[in-house]
Structure 1
Amino acid sequence: MKKILGIGLLSLSVLLTACSSDENDKNDNNNAVSATINGVEWNATKINSVTLIKVKSENQQRFDINIQDNAQMLSLACVSELTTADAMPLKAYNFIEDIEDMDALFINTYLVDGNTYTEHFVETGKLTITSMDAAKKTVSGTFSFTSKKVGTLQTKVKTPEVFEVKNGTFTNLSYTVVTQP
């Protein structure tokens, strides 16, 4: 699991710099993403990507969600053993700092003047997939995580020492499947 999460971190970094299409705006297909970030209600205005990556040679798969508003981008990921269906197992995936068998990853990134800045590292987090329709390629679930500031990369936006996401939900997000050898 460590290897695919490492690959996932690299892939998520690439996603953070990639452009998204207007096809994935929040209001398509009745999809929605919301959360409470440091006590303030937050709603994603753009769904950049939702992807299931199946890696046959590793017998694993990774599920990524990349969402944002005008100031903040969240990247959520989880891994499992490879399944025959184009879906993840319905369960809770967790990140706990200093535990080797973690199966989730969370990244929060600030959007400032066209640039991206990641100043926090996740300490704990939970992503629960509550429903996933492999035929329709839609997914719903919940998420929460806490990250701690590890440095300052910009000074235009004051970022908190602790970044806490609670009550996160995603509903009917459309996803694509990518199969790698």
Structure 2
Amino acid sequence: MKKILGGLLLLSILFTSCSSDENDDNNSSISATINGVEWKPTKINSVTLIKISGSGQRFDINIQDDSQMLMLACESDFTSKDAMPLKEYNFYEDLEDTDGDEWIPSDALFVNTYLIDGNTYTEHMPVVGKMTITAMDPEKKTVSGTFSFKAEKGGALQTKIVTPDIFEVKNGVFNNLSYTVLSQ
């Protein structure tokens, strides 16, 4: 399963240029609060369910406005229907139990990237996060749910803007987003 999430960044970059016009209807929406400020993306780059035969499947949402891009992903075991299980998916930063001998696996990943002068900069690493898929219709190919995450600054990659030490997304909600199914 780590291979599935490990390929998130590469595939998300590939799908960044594939804007989904299907999400422009009146019933779909996505919003969040980022560091205390209400945020709505101006573009939905992609919403995809990637089915990797024999190893699992990954669900990705890639959204942006003029200054930042959010990439949300979760993974599950392979299912025969074109949908993810309805449940909460979590990211934990290499947490161990109290004895230090057991790693707690993550089944989600969250990335925030700054868009500056045509370049992308990812200065934060996720610490904790969750995405809950509350509804997914495999016939209509629509999905709804919630998300939140916290990331810490790993260093500055650019000097055009000052980025916060903590990047925190709360109250993330997506409703009736259309998704595409891809098979590998």
1:94-173 → structure 2 map (5 Å cutoff): 94-99=90-95, 100-173=104-177
Matched residue, 2:179: 175
C-alpha distance in 2, partners of 1:13/1:102? 22
C-alpha distance in 1, partners of 2:18/2:13? 14
Q: Secondary structure at the match of 1:70?
A: coil
CA displacement 1:60-103 (0-9 Å, x = unmatched): 00000000111110000000000111000000000000045100
Matched residue, 1:77: 73
C-alpha distance in 2, partners of 1:163/1:131? 27
Q: Is the 8 A contact 2:58 2:75 kept in 1?
A: yes
Identity %: 65
RMSD: 1.5
Superposition deviation, residue 20 in structure 1: 3.4
1:25-36 → structure 2 map (5 Å cutoff): 27-36=24-33
Gaps of 5+ in 2: 96-103
Superposition deviation, residue 29 in structure 1: 4.8
Structure 1 residues 120 and 20 mapped into 2: Cα distance closer, same or farther (>3 Å)?
Answer: same
Q: Secondary structure at the match of 1:106?
A: strand
Q: Give the TM-score normalised by structure 2.
A: 0.90
Superposition deviation, residue 22 in structure 1: 6.7
C-alpha distance in 2, partners of 1:94/1:57? 22
CA displacement 1:35-58 (0-9 Å, x = unmatched): 000000000111000000000132
Q: Secondary structure at the match of 1:87?
A: coil
Q: Give the TM-score normalised by structure 1.
A: 0.92
Counterpart of 1:90 (choices 76, 86, 93) is: 86
Instruction: Give the length in aligned residue pairs.
Output: 176
CA displacement 1:109-164 (0-9 Å, x = unmatched): 01111111110000000000000000000000000000000011111111000000
C-alpha distance in 2, partners of 1:136/1:175? 9
Structure 1 residues 29 and 174 mapped into 2: Cα distance closer, same or farther (>3 Å)?
Answer: farther
Q: In the alignment, residue 51 of structure 1 is paired with which amino acid?
A: T
Q: Does 1:54 align with 2:58?
A: no
**Rg larger in 1 or in 2?**
2
Deviates more, 1:93-102 or 1:103-112: 93-102
Q: Is the 8 A contact 2:115 2:121 kept in 1?
A: yes
Greater helix proportion: 1
Q: In the alignment, residue 156 of structure 1 is paired with which amino acid?
A: K
Q: Secondary structure at the match of 1:57?
A: coil
C-alpha distance in 1, partners of 2:131/2:119? 27
